[in-house]
Structure 1
Amino acid sequence: MHPPFATQTEEIKAMSKHCTSGVDFRISHERVILLDTQPVYSPSILIDMMRPDGSSTLPVLSGDPLPADLAHELMGIQLGVFLASVCNILLVVSEGINDFSMWDLMLTVDLLKNSIPDPSLLTSSSTQEKENKNDNQSGSEEFMADVCFVHARLREHDFSRSKLMFLRKILGEHFEPSSLSIGSTSTTPADTDSSVPSSMTVDELSSSQQDVFLLPLRAHDNSTKFEYGTYSSMLGMLRDQVLSRPPRPFSKNLSERDWLRSSAKIWDMVKKSPVISEYCKALQSSGLFRK
């Protein structure tokens, strides 16, 4: 049994370092596979992968070395495409109520996740694929994980029904042109406060919507004035919500071993994706990154 995921120590926090590098995974007693990745848009990741001349030490794409800032950007996109391709539920975590950079990242993931197949289809034999080709083309779309956006480290004034409803309204408008499945909701993004019972609390709203969840600062664990619950209790609510949520199924049943093999194949596809490669060229010519 693997130990739990590593968490930041006070020393790591003081050094402003990240804790996870690459992708780490665990399997729970209930046979739930959990993935943890390095942070995206992290200065410490960028510093670790940058050579003195500004180029990247990591071969993000085949070919000549990329500038570190561009490689850092593409690495976040690749991780997003990979996770959206192999996970049933994807938690996208950001700090603060007004940080929408992860929303933009998921729009890019939705745009570039082209021709990445359902993991369960990679285990089929060529004969079965030919027999089921028409069914797969007519009856299934490309697999995309259900997404839940978690806004963490919030202050007490960020926890209000009006702010959460407004956040959900913006979320619906932001992803309206995309094919991204944000999750099952009991109300539409256009709902207003008047359409929701006034007795419903913020934590009840979060648990009923399933596409946005709010977490307070850890400091609130010691506060008796914070009415929405402690960090630990709300984190437990998020865990219960995720584990009780019906997962988006793959086209076929997969064993853990088959999922692991298919995931390795999909990561290889992501790294060699011509769509992401073309997007990289567009970014290079945009003038936003070092040449």
Structure 2
Amino acid sequence: HLAVFLFQPILSPSILDHLINNDRKLPPEYSLPHTYVEMQSLQIAAFLFTVCHVVIVVQDWFTDLSLYRFLQTAEMVKPSTPSPSHESSSSSGSDEGTEYYPHLVFLQNKARREDFCPRKLRQMHLMIDQLMAHSHLRYKGTLSMLQCNVFPGLPPDFLDSEVNLFLMPFTDSEAEGETPARAGPTSSPLFSLLPGYRGHPSFQSLVSKLRSQVMSMARPQLSHTILTEKNWFHYAARIWDGVKKSSALAEYSRLLA
């Protein structure tokens, strides 16, 4: 089974604006609205890093350095993998030190034609790899745009270190709105019948390739015991309760104040 969550944007200015303008009362442990929004975002990210096999990070531009600092902070305060239950205490102790980390996929939304240039692609992969170099999250080696024929002219070893980055362009309807401007008034009637050059596959094709890659990712055990779908629900509820009461998050909140 693959659980899918859709969460509110992290560190969202619109959520902060709604909080301020609607006179919502803050919990007593938070004195400032922006601190409350940041802690909410950290709680959500820490929860996802513990109960999900794949976490997709969507960004509309490349790149926001504060996003990577946020991901590393969420990894730092992530709850530890619960120890085996008393019923399974007879198992070998070598697994007790194993910590779980999910696959992390960076989805570059609204990518433009120049983003699909091989040189730009290599720069993006190199930058993400350097920014995430000290992370234990599985941010590379499990998703590849080169292997799903998005760049048919590039060899598999084109990227020195391929991270889990996937480019998603504007929707086809948005792209069609740009076609007449590119074609120009002096274009031949024959060429006006052809679709404009986009430099990448269609939006629907890329969505299908991304879905296929995500669904084929390995799904290791989230905990030291095998979880059924029902047990996973109770496990996730227990983790969320632990995140809300986390001493590490509480201490981090005090440092922000």
Q: Same fold (TM over 0.5)?
A: yes
Q: In the alignment, is residue 86 of structure 1 matched against residue 51 of structure 2?
A: yes
Say whether the 8 Å CA contact 2:111–2:169 is kept in structure 1: yes
C-alpha distance in 1 between matches for 2:62 and 2:106? 11
Q: Report what 1:194 is aligned to.
A: none
How much has 1:125 moved relative to structure 2? 4.0
Q: Which residue of 2 aligns with 1:184?
A: 141
* Aligned amino acid, residue 116 of structure 1: S
CA contact (8 A) 1:210 1:241 kept: no
Tell me which of the two structures has the higher relative contact order, counting C-alpha pairs closer than 8 angstroms and 6 or more residues apart: 2
2:207 is the alignment partner of 1:232: no
d(CA) in 1 for partners of 2:26 and 2:206? 38
Paired amino acid for 2:86: S
Query: Which of 274, 278, 283 lines up with 2:247 in the alignment?
Result: 274
Structure 1: tracts of 5 or more residues without a match: 1-30, 188-196, 285-291
Amino acid at match of 2:35: L
Asked whether the equivalents of residues 221 and 230 of structure 1 are also in contact (C-alpha less than 8 Å), the reply is no
Deviation, structure 1 residue 58: 5.3
Q: Find out whether 1:108 has 2:73 as its counterpart.
A: yes
2: CA distance between counterparts of 1:183 and 1:254? Answer: 26
Identity between Structure 1 and Structure 2 (%) = 25
Instruction: Structure 2: give runs of 5+ residues left out of the alignment.
Output: 145-150, 180-195
User: Runs ≥4 in structure 1, deviation > 6 angstroms?
Assistant: none
Alignment of 1:250-269 (within 5 A): 250=222, 251-269=224-242
8 A Cα contact 1:90 1:148, kept in partner: yes
Match of 1:66 among 27, 31, 50: 31
Deviation of 1:186 after TM superposition, in Å, equals: 8.9
- Give 2:86's match in structure 1, choosing from 126, 132, 138: 126
The number of equivalent residue pairs is: 230
Match for 2:167 among 214, 230, 234? Answer: 214
Once the two structures are TM-superposed, the CA of residue 34 in structure 1 deviates from its matched residue by: 1.0
Deviation at 1:108, TM superposition (A): 1.1
Which digits, 9 at most, give the CA deviation of each residue in 1:13-46, with x for residues without a partner?
xxxxxxxxxxxxxxxxxx4321111111222211
Cα pair 1:151 1:214 within 8 Å, conserved = yes
Query: Which amino acid letter does the alignment assign opposite residue 136 of structure 1?
Result: D
The structure 1 residue matched to 2:153, chosen from 199, 202, 220, is 199
Alpha-carbon distance between aligned partners in 1 of 2:232 and 2:85, rounded to the nearest angstrom = 15
What amino acid is aligned across from residue 202 of structure 2 in structure 1?
T
Q: TM-score, normalised by structure 2?
A: 0.78
| Amino acid in structure 2 at the alignment position of 1:165 | R
Are the structure 2 counterparts of residues 58 and 260 from structure 1 closer, same or farther at C-alpha, using a change threshold of 3 Å? farther
Secondary structure of the 1:281 match is helix
- The alpha-carbon deviation at position 198 of structure 1 amounts to 8.7
Give the drift of 1:235. 1.6
Q: CA deviation at 1:100?
A: 3.8
Task: Name the counterpart of 1:57.
Answer: 25
Deviations 1:130-160 (A, max 9, x none): 434723334x2x2111101111012212221
| Contact map agreement 2:116 2:199 (CA 8 A) in 1 | no
Distance 1:277 1:186, change over 3 A: closer
Taking structure 1 as reference, are residues 68 and 110 closer, same or farther at Cα in structure 2, changes over 3 Å only? same
CA contact (8 A) 1:184 1:210 kept: yes
1:248 equivalent to 2:220? Answer yes
Structure-2 residue corresponding to 1:98: 63
TM-score (norm. length: structure 1): 0.69
Kept in 2, the 8 Å contact 1:94–1:151? The answer is yes
